[in-house]
């Protein structure tokens, strides 16, 4: 198979909304597209599938131009080598499972018998051969999802698009389907885009994450880094981290202090790198643990903008100002709310700065915490993940 | 004070809100716990509000009583011979095949028209839609006159058909079919257009991503999805064609065995043999009811999209 790299450098309009995007997806890569509702995730898939033309720019797949606004070329959806799993699956209600899966091969010129044979092969490969004669109305959510995937793959696409493939499933089915889907995505040779708003799904299934907000890419990188160094409040919330933006306040050489926007300050480890090269950008780090800002290079200029991510469990809560501890960052706060998570309680704390902190239920009882309680928070400088926005 | 209390409610209490419990038989209870029924919105005999029940009964009486009159005055003794008469058989045969052919014609040209009205965007679409529904409100006789002026031997189209092909349409069975098609087509177009407009175009998008061209999508996805509405429209269309009188008699005349359909036969029979008219009417009634009921049950209720 030729080098099927997907290149998108385009703006897509939908109503008053514009999605601007410049992204390259190599073959075999699963790009997880994350973002809140209305961020342009589905708009992106529609443009790739040919269900909407780009307003400006171009889309190409393996060197073949699919859409080019400047040149005025546009490949119709039916002529694109694309497999699309829709959020609501869109299985044809009047056709059986086999006929649904055979639809792509048949539409692309296969005879009736050959199309059905191809469909049966795909159903067998996805382990749902026993559903062949059913109508979509007789399928469970998980079964319908598998049929939709089989239908998309049966057309032998070179580009695979999945729009929230598991959002319609219950939690239990989702786990099952997720494991299977992971396998099928690994087998798929071309580029694959997986739209989701479930961070776990994205972390498990995607090789790389692209975070969209309001029609723009706000973060693009390996899942491990997105999970560790979220670029925006939305991403931080998604991966369950506290995120602070601020600027470097201390002079060069001293332990650096970051003034947090909206009040408060953090002492951060060492000093921050001075130049762009010294602090790897979010787009530059290939994989693994990013080289944060562990004080390698002195002379960070005051005023540099930085982001700080903190795990909610790294912050310690006490009812008295802590003494004799190594934590460099101590500040008072007030409990605004408590939420019971699976095995712990998440405290919503107001202070300078605000924070989410996870504690055990026992700790809540011991410290008699409730809405309005006054507490002291502390966090070690080494638990702060400091990075460039 | 107590501005929020319901009328009839006692101040300071809920007494006015509560009525003593009604008797609810086990059978009715079972019905109300069934799917799609709730004691609050629908259900058993007792819960049909009188302001809805009374007009509904009047409507049924209005529709059914005249037909009951027809049955009551039927010359049952002479029914057999009347039915067997060559005229009746001829008229019935003509009516049935012309209505069927014109329904076929309506489907062949009406479904594409419905698609264009529902999906294509072009200036003047509202005007076109109004034109299409015109035969619904136009007196059928006017339609017949219009057809005659267009397709008659001296009409602006008929003249050339006559000159070039020697084809004379008026007063032929073809004229019957054309008149029926003219009058019945809006029923099909409106029904199918409505279905196409409300159909989920997501399925068509899915078909496109699977490599289907527009005609394949139409044939394999759109059409099957609107099939129940198409069937309903076709039944309405057929029933309208079967009962067509005004346009037919104007454009096609009333030649027994050639253009004299059942309604026309009834009309003429009424003048010289009222019993025969009643007999013919009964036949028409039975045929219509049979077709409507059987098709409704088979196609409309047992539709593919449930």
DSSP codes of every residue in A45-75: HHHHHTSS--SEEEEEETTEEEEETTTTEE-
Residues of B in contact with A107 (CB under 8 A): 207, 210-213, 216, 220
Q: Do B206 and A90 touch (CB under 8 A)?
A: yes
User: Do A51 and A104 sit in the same domain of this protein?
Assistant: yes
- The answer to whether residue A333 is domain-embedded is yes
Q: Which of A65, A76, A80, A74 is nearest to A8 (CA)?
A: A65
Nearest CA in chain A to B223: A94
Q: What is the DSSP letter of A248?
A: E
Q: Does the residue A1 lie in any domain?
A: no
A234 in the same domain as A218? no
Question: Do A151 and A201 lie in a common domain?
Answer: yes
The answer to whether residues A252 and A280 belong to one domain is yes
Give a yes or no: residue B77 inside a domain: yes
In the predicted model, what is the mean pLDDT of chain B?
Answer: 84
Q: Is residue A302 part of a domain?
A: yes
- Check whether residue A254 and residue A138 sit in a common domain: no
Residue B286, pLDDT above cutoff 90: no
Looking at the structure, tell me whether residues A38 and A137 fall in a common domain: yes
Q: Are both A256 and A158 inside the same structural domain? A: no
- When divided into structural domains, chain B yields a total of 1
Give A245-250's long-range contacts (Cβ < 8 A, gap of 24+): A245/A305, A245/A306, A245/A307, A245/A308, A245/A389, A246/A305, A246/A306, A246/A308, A247/A302, A247/A303, A247/A304, A247/A305, A247/A306, A248/A272, A248/A300, A248/A301, A248/A302, A248/A303, A248/A304, A248/A305, A248/A306, A249/A302, A250/A302
A138-171: pLDDT as tens digits = 998 889 999 999 999 998 899 999 998 888 788 8
* CB contact (8 A) between residue B211 and residue A93: no
Contact state of B304 with A92 under an 8 Å Cβ cutoff: no
Do residues A121 and A132 lie in contact, with contact meaning Cβ atoms separated by under 8 Å? no
- To 10 degrees, the CA torsion angle through B127, B128, B129, B130? 50
Dump pLDDT digits (tens) for A195-212: 988 888 888 899 999 999
Would residue B274 count as lying in a domain?
A: yes
Q: How confident is the model at residue B29 (pLDDT cuts 50, 70, 90)?
A: confident
CA distance, residue B301 to nearest chain A CA (Å): 15
Residue A46 sits in a domain whose CATH number is: 3.40.50.300
Helix axes B274-295, B223-242, angle to 10 degrees: 170
Asked if B215 reaches chain A (Cβ–Cβ under 8 Å), the answer is no
CA–CA gap between residue B168 and residue B170 (Å, rounded)? 6
Residue at which a domain ends, from A195, A228, A261: A228
Residue B300 pLDDT class (50, 70, 90 cuts): low
Q: Rounded to whole angstroms, what are the CA distances from B29 to B23, B35, B41?
A: 10, 12, 14
| CB contact at 8 A, A32 and A223 | yes
Q: Same domain, yes or no, for A155 and A246?
A: no
On whether any CB of chain B is under 8 Å from the CB of A48, the answer is no
E strand segments, chain B: none
pLDDT band per the 50, 70, 90 thresholds, residue A301: low
Closest CA to A81 of B160, B209, B102: B209
Q: Tell me which residue in B202, B203, B211 faces A78 most closely, judged by beta carbons.
A: B211
Grade residue A51 by pLDDT with cuts at 50, 70 and 90: very high
Q: Is residue B40 part of a domain?
A: no
Residues A208, A61 share a domain: yes
> At A366, is the pLDDT very low, low, confident or very high (cuts 50, 70, 90)?
confident
Question: For position A126, what pLDDT does the model report?
Answer: 86
Question: Which of these three, A228, A260, A288, is where a domain ends?
Answer: A228
Provide CB contacts within 8 A for A99, sequence distance 6+.
Answer: A92, A116, A119
Residue B92: CATH number of its domain: 1.10.3720.10
Which of A208, A228, A248 is the last residue in one of the domains? A228
Give the pLDDT confidence score for residue B39 in this predicted structure. Answer: 63
pLDDT digits (tens, 9 = 90+) for A69-104: 999 899 999 999 999 999 999 999 999 999 999 999
Residues of the domain holding A327: 230-389
- CB within 8 A of A238, min separation 6: which ones? A34, A199, A230
Looking at the fold, whether A224 and A235 belong to one and the same domain comes out as: no
B31 within some domain: no
Residue A12 domain flag: yes
CB contact under 8 A, B209 and A84: yes
Judge if A254 and A121 occupy the same domain.
no
pLDDT of residue A2: 58
CA distance B197 to B199: 6
| CATH number, residue A337 | 2.40.50.100
Residues A376 and A300 in one domain: yes
Q: Under a CB-based contact definition with an 8 Å cutoff, are residues B183 and B285 in contact?
A: no
Most confidently predicted of A13-17, A307-311, B90-94, B176-180: B176-180
pLDDT at residue A267 tops 90: no
| Domain assignment present for B199 | yes
Candidate from B211, B216, B305 with C-beta closest to A155: B211
- Short-list B261, B268, B266, CA closest to B90: B261
| Confidence at A276, pLDDT banded by 50, 70, 90 | very low
Report the C-alpha gap between B237 and A20 in whole angstroms: 51
Domain range enclosing B239: 69-301
Total domains in chain A come to: 2
Does residue A103 sit in helix, strand or coil? helix
Mean pLDDT of all residues in A211-235: 90
The answer as to whether A55 is a domain residue is yes
Percent pLDDT > 70 in chain A is 89
Task: Map residue A87 onto helix, strand or coil.
Answer: coil
CB-closest option in B208, B216, B221 to A77:
B208
């Amino acid at each position: 198979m030729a080098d099927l790299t997907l290149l998108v450098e385009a703006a897509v309009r939908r109503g008053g909304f514009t999605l601007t995007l410049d992204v390259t997806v190599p073959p075999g890569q699963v790009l997880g597209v994350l973002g809140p509702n209305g961020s342009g995730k589905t708009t992106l898939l529609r443009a790739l599938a040919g269900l909407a033309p780009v307003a400006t720019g171009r889309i190409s797949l393996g060197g073949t131009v699919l859409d080019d606004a400047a040149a005025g070329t546009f490949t119709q959806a039916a002529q694109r080598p694309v497999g699309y799993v829709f959020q609501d699956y869109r299985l044809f209600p009047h056709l059986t499972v086999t006929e649904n899966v055979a639809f792509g091969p048949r539409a692309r010129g296969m005879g009736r018998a050959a199309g059905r044979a191809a469909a049966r092969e795909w159903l067998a490969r996805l382990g749902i051969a026993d559903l062949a004669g059913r109508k979509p109305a007789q399928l469970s959510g998980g079964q319908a999802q598998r049929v939709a995937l089989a239908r998309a793959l049966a057309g032998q696409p070179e580009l695979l698009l999945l729009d929230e493939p598991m959002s319609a499933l219950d939690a239990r089915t989702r786990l099952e389907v997720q494991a299977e889907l992971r396998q099928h995505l690994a087998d798929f040779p071309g580029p694959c885009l997986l739209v989701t708003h479930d961070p776990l799904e994205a972390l498990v299934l995607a090789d790389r994450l692209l975070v969209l907000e309001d029609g723009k890419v706000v973060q693009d990188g390996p899942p491990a880094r997105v999970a560790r160094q979220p670029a925006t409040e939305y991403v931080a919330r998604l991966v369950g981290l506290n995120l602070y933006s601020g600027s470097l306040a201390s002079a060069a050489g001293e332990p650096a202090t970051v003034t947090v926007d909206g009040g408060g300050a953090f002492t951060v480890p060492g000093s921050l790198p001075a130049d762009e090269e010294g602090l790897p950008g979010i787009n530059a780090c290939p994989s693994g643990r990013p080289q944060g800002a562990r004080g390698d290079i002195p002379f960070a200029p005051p005023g540099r903008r930085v982001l700080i991510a903190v795990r909610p469990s790294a912050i310690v809560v006490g009812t008295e100002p802590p003494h004799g501890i190594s934590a460099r960052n101590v500040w008072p706060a007030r409990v605004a709310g408590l939420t019971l998570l699976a095995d712990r309680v998440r405290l919503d704390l107001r202070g300078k700065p605000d924070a989410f902190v996870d504690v055990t239920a026992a700790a809540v009882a011991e410290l008699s915490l409730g809405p309005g309680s006054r507490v002291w928070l502390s966090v070690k400088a080494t638990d702060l993940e400091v990075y460039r926005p | 004070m107590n501005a929020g209390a319901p009328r009839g409610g006692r101040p300071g209490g809920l007494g006015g809100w509560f009525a003593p419990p009604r008797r609810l038989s086990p059978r009715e209870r079972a019905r109300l716990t069934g799917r799609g029924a709730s004691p609050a919105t629908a259900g058993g005999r007792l819960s049909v509000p009188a302001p809805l029940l009374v007009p509904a009964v009047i409507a049924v009486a209005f529709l059914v009583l005249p037909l009951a009159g027809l049955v009551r005055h039927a010359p049952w003794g002479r029914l057999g011979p009347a039915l067997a008469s060559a005229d009746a058989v001829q008229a019935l045969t003509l009516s049935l095949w012309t209505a069927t052919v014109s329904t076929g014609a309506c489907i062949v040209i009406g479904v594409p028209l419905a698609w264009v009205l529902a999906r294509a965007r072009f200036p003047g679409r509202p005007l076109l839609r109004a034109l299409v529904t015109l035969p619904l409100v136009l007196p059928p006789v006017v339609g017949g006159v219009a057809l005659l002026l267009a397709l008659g031997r001296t009409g602006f189209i008929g003249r050339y058909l006559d000159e070039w092909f020697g084809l004379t349409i008026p007063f032929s069975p073809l004229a019957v079919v054309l008149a029926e098609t003219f009058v019945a087509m809006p029923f099909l177009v409106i029904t199918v257009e409505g279905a196409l407009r409300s159909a989920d175009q997501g399925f068509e998008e899915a078909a496109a991503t699977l490599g289907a061209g527009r005609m394949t999508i139409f044939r394999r996805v759109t059409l099957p999805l609107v099939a129940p509405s198409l069937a309903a429209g076709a039944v309405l269309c057929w029933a309208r064609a079967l009962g067509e009188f005004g346009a037919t008699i104007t454009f096609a005349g009333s030649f027994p065995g050639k253009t004299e359909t059942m309604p026309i036969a009834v009309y003429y029979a009424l003048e010289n043999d009222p019993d025969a008219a009643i007999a013919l009417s009964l036949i028409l009634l039975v045929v219509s009811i049979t077709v409507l009921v059987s098709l409704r049950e088979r196609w409309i209720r047992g539709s593919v999209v449930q």
